Amino acid sequence: MTFQSMIMLFSCALFLLGSSSATSDTIPALQAIKDGDTLVSNGQTYELGFFSPGKSQNRYLGIWYKKISTGTVVWVANRETPITDKSGMLKLSTDGNLQILSGNSTKIWSSNSTVSMNDNLVVVLQLLDTGNLIVWDNSSRKQSVIWQSFDYLGNTLLPGMKFGKNKVTGREWSMTSWKSPDDPSPGPYYHWLDPTGYPQMFVRQGSVILWRFGPWNGHKFQGLPLENPNPLYSIVFVDNEVETYYKFELKTSAVQRIVIMPDDTTVQLHWIDQIQDWAMYSIAAVKDGCGRYGLCGPYGSCSMNRYPPCKCMEGFRPRVPDEWDRANGSSGCVRNRALDCGSGDGFKKISGVMFPDTRWSSYNHSMTLVECETACRMNCNCTAYANSDISGSGCLLWFDSQSSFSKKIRVLAVVLSASSAVLLFAAVYAYIKKKKIPLMKERGNLYGLNKKSNNVQMEDLDELPSFCLREIAKATHNFDVNNKIGEGGFGPVYKGVLEDGREIAVKRLSETSKQGLEEFMNEIRTIAKLQHRNLVKLLGYCIHGNELILIYEYMINKSLDLIIFDETRSTMLDWSKRFNIIHGMARGILYLHQDSRLQIIHRDLKAGNILLDANMNPKISDFGLARKFVGFDVTAKTKKVVGTHGYIPPEYALYGRFSIKSDVFSFGVLVLEIVSGKKNREFSLDGHNDNLLGHAWRLYKKGRSIELISASLHGSCVVSEVLRSIQVGLLCVQHHAEDRPTMLSVVLMLVSEGVLPQPKHPAFYTEEGRSELESASSVDEDTITLLYAR
């Protein structure tokens, strides 16, 4: 079969269907569907009944399309047990078991699904417009599913079907081809999702793997012809402790299916066009011959643009040279010299490739690439590492699958030792924790916390070290005014030095602070559970009487506003440092919105809350106003608008609505302030009344954005990066929240060189006496091009 055959249309053949006498989509228990009768879904999309495929005279119970591509079968019940005449019937028993019987009442097929009988049990069979055949239990107020055909895939994947595995029950959702157009029994080709290591898809013929798709790169499975995003469908991938599965959902009324061809090894996507016939929407599943599994063997690379297509990676040679001379590279390659992990073997960057098999890999979606490299270097069996997500996040590690048995024993011994240590630690921690909570409560009473402190839940403090007031007072020279480095609505901030030499920042929430207690607890509940290099680290707390104190790592360069808005100190930040700050802030906010275990909206992003370490790396601070959210872009509403004017968007300032797009707006303001060295609120220019956002917008429309940059940057700026940063900033401060990008898009736009979207007018923009503020209301996704191997 040639690769051109992968774009051939598929039909399960012609069918000898009897006359249809049933029009309902539902039947109760004990009512039979005889050969010649059918069940039709409510929208007339699908039909269930007995049929004969192709030239066969055998009868099968199946589901096919009713109105479009009539007779194309998408599911078969008795694939391996056909009926030889037209005496068959489908019957639902009173306990929920679905059975196919022949004329002499012989059981041909059964769903093997029953529920406990009771006097109120009501079971019904229904064919849905999704193509799912369901046995319902209607005995309670809420319907429950006893059995469904979507759990038993054939050769077709319909929208809404899961494709993967339940790790608890062991149930697999996989596809098997038909033997032929005349025989729907399981054929030689099997398509499944393997959750081992990092999940990926395979197609095999018998026991021989033919094709591989994947792994999941954050948007799609590499090599699979389902594009994401797509106007016709959306893709869902779930990977957790219970199950790993893939599915797609329709966005339009177009009917789609994925089929394993009965005479080939390809996976194809079909859809229904306006003339109601099958048509290919996507490209073939495998773009060229390099898609065949193991074509060039271990450590070999493949390209159809050269002959022979296989080539060993740098530092490797053919395992069997004679075979490679005959253009057969399946034996793979071996190293020119053995790895010497202890001598510091390095890594080589490989770009533009499909990832190798990930069954012998491990992954962590919260690790950075730098942390990923460190983890790989620490394990001599680690052979390569890369980001697990095309956005540039996560860690994927490959390990030597050919490790000897003795090596496995040593690794196992280490794992067992580590496991024992973990168990011991857990036991000790449980004992300490049991003792700690009463001591906390006793200390709170001892220190005389006033009644507003009753909202303090002591379990929220368990994850943080506590400091005594005497220790903090000594570190700050009794809160000497000369050690004061800041002031906020919560109270003053002091620099301190602990007895072990660590420099700290002490945030003292005084008795007179109106938001002190609320901010204190909010800070502990959020930042104490967050870990990211662009977030300031909370070291501990102190509770003593009416005093509530938080202790942070000390940032020697203090806050961003003290530098960029100061004419003299602004020279400390050339363009490369400012661009690094912009990128670091974006990564930190993306972590809060998407990658942290809490999902946080900061609500008070401003230059004063961006701290700078000794290398001018940004650290987001002050989480007192932060709020947790669940899901994507959730919008909440409050009557109490908090934050800093000049950094909050119109929907929040006017109506109290905040979301992740509120933080995006604040980030955009920060970008324009960093580029210009000017404050948004205090900006003024002769000739118009624009704030900084309006001024940046005017210059952008005239093609003169470069004029926005601070005078201190003229000698160091990279024009392309400056213009890209300004355009990203303007995209973030657009008036309508739905027009603003997500922080994931922001990070990608900052590091890519593709064409950016055109921004609309910013919020709070006025022009010639007319207010624009409404008072009423490219990276190739097929491959991740960052893979390091040794």
Rounded CA-CA distance 249/258 in Å is 12
Highest mean pLDDT among 124-128, 253-257, 683-687: 124-128
What's the pLDDT at 775?
A: 31
| 580, 616 contact by CB (below 8 A) | yes
What's the pLDDT at 575?
A: 96
Q: In the structure, what pLDDT confidence band is assigned to residue 474 with cuts at 50, 70 and 90?
A: very high
Q: Which residue has the higher pLDDT, 473 or 391?
A: 473
Q: Is 569 exposed, middle or buried (0-12, 13-18, 19+ CB in 10 A)?
A: middle
Q: In the structure, what pLDDT confidence band is assigned to residue 285 with cuts at 50, 70 and 90?
A: very low
pTM passes above 0.85 = no
Q: In the structure, what pLDDT confidence band is assigned to residue 410 with cuts at 50, 70 and 90?
A: very low
> Mean pLDDT throughout 689-712?
92
What's the pLDDT at 55?
A: 93
Say whether pLDDT at 668 is over 70: yes
Pick from 264-268, 524-528, 720-724: least confident? 264-268
Q: Which residue has the higher pLDDT, 518 or 479?
A: 479
Q: In the structure, what pLDDT confidence band is assigned to residue 770 with cuts at 50, 70 and 90?
A: very low
What's the pLDDT at 515?
A: 57
Strands 183-194 and 175-180: antiparallel
Quick one: CA dihedral 352, 356, 358, 364, positive or negative? negative
Rounded CA-CA distance 199/195 in Å is 4
Highest mean pLDDT among 290-299, 313-322, 678-687: 313-322
% of the chain at pLDDT higher than 90: 42
Rounded CA-CA distance 286/298 in Å is 20
Rounded CA-CA distance 90/110 in Å is 10
Structure tokens at 353: 């490739």
**Domains of the chain by residue range:** 1-150, 153-293, 558-759
Tens digits of residue pLDDT in 515-555: 556 677 777 877 777 888 999 998 998 888 778 899 999 99
* Contacts of 406 by beta carbon, 8 Å cutoff, 6+ apart: none
Pick from 38-42, 96-100, 333-337, 519-523: least confident? 519-523
Half-sphere exposure of 268 toward its Cβ, with a 13 Å CA cutoff?
A: 25
Rounded CA-CA distance 262/188 in Å is 8
Q: In the structure, what pLDDT confidence band is assigned to residue 263 with cuts at 50, 70 and 90?
A: low
| 278, 227 contact by CB (below 8 A) | no
Pick from 27-31, 57-61, 253-257, 411-415: least confident? 411-415
What's the pLDDT at 175?
A: 92
Pick from 144-148, 363-367, 715-719: least confident? 363-367
What's the pLDDT at 751?
A: 85
| 628, 569 contact by CB (below 8 A) | no
Q: How far is CA 259 from the centre of its chain?
A: 27
CATH for 558-759?
A: 1.10.510.10
Q: Which residue has the higher pLDDT, 627 or 263?
A: 627
Say whether pLDDT at 425 is over 50: no
Tens digits of residue pLDDT in 57-97: 999 999 999 877 678 899 999 999 999 999 999 999 998 99
User: CA dist 672 to 33, 278, 691, 756, Å?
Assistant: 69, 51, 11, 17
Residue 678: which of 702, 700, 694, 661 has the closest Cα?
A: 694
Highest mean pLDDT among 58-62, 292-296, 462-466, 596-600: 58-62
Rounded CA-CA distance 69/84 in Å is 26
Helix (H, G, I), strand (E, B) or coil at 175: strand
Strand segments (E) across 554-708: 600-601, 610-612, 618-620, 627-628, 636-637, 657-658
Strand segments (E) across 459-537: 484-488, 491-497, 503-509
CATH for 1-150?
A: 2.90.10.10
Active site (catalytic) residues: 604
Say whether pLDDT at 458 is over 80: no
Q: In the structure, what pLDDT confidence band is assigned to residue 726 with cuts at 50, 70 and 90?
A: very high
Helix (H, G, I), strand (E, B) or coil at 621: coil
What's the pLDDT at 292?
A: 79
Say whether pLDDT at 781 is over 70: no
Highest mean pLDDT among 199-203, 260-264, 484-488: 199-203
Q: How far is CA 85 from the centre of its chain?
A: 51
| 101, 88 contact by CB (below 8 A) | yes
> Mean pLDDT throughout 254-276?
57
Helices (H), strands (E): how many in the chain? 12, 46
Q: Note whether 153-293 and 558-759 share their fold.
A: no
Residue 713: which of 575, 580, 560 has the closest Cα?
A: 575
Residue 507: which of 526, 534, 531, 483 has the closest Cα?
A: 483
What's the pLDDT at 272?
A: 52
Rounded CA-CA distance 303/312 in Å is 11
Residue 95: which of 108, 109, 111 has the closest Cα?
A: 111
Say whether pLDDT at 703 is over 90: yes
Q: How far is CA 407 from the centre of its chain?
A: 34
Rounded CA-CA distance 96/113 in Å is 6
Say whether pLDDT at 693 is over 50: yes
Any idea how long the chain is?
790
Q: In the structure, what pLDDT confidence band is assigned to residue 434 with cuts at 50, 70 and 90?
A: very low
> Mean pLDDT throughout 617-626?
89
Say whether pLDDT at 717 is over 60: yes
153-293 CATH fold: Agglutinin, subunit A (2.90.10)
What's the pLDDT at 785?
A: 43
> Mean pLDDT throughout 257-277?
55
Helix spans in 25-163 (H): none
| 175, 190 contact by CB (below 8 A) | yes
> Mean pLDDT throughout 439-462?
41
What's the pLDDT at 640?
A: 64
What is the residue-wise DSSP string for 536-554? PPEEEEEEETTEEEEEEE-
Q: Which residue has the higher pLDDT, 513 or 687?
A: 687
> Mean pLDDT throughout 288-293?
71
What's the pLDDT at 334?
A: 92
Which phi and psi angles does 703 have, rounded to 5°?
75, 25
Which phi and psi angles does 618 have, rounded to 5°?
-80, 145
The single-letter code of the amino acid at 697 is: W
Say whether pLDDT at 281 is over 80: no
CB atoms within 10 A of CB 73: 21
Say whether pLDDT at 767 is over 80: no
Q: In the structure, what pLDDT confidence band is assigned to residue 718 with cuts at 50, 70 and 90?
A: very high
| 387, 786 contact by CB (below 8 A) | yes
> Mean pLDDT throughout 390-413?
60
State which H helix or E strand residue 582 sits in.
helix 575-590
Q: Round the average pLDDT of the chain to a whole number and report it.
A: 79
Rounded CA-CA distance 59/37 in Å is 13
What's the pLDDT at 512?
A: 55
Question: Across-strand partners of 212?
Answer: 202
Q: Is 138 exposed, middle or buried (0-12, 13-18, 19+ CB in 10 A)?
A: middle
Rounded CA-CA distance 90/61 in Å is 8
User: CA dist 374 to 131, 197, 388, 621, 722, Å?
Assistant: 49, 20, 15, 27, 32
Helix (H, G, I), strand (E, B) or coil at 10: coil
Pick from 37-41, 242-246, 436-440, 560-564: least confident? 436-440
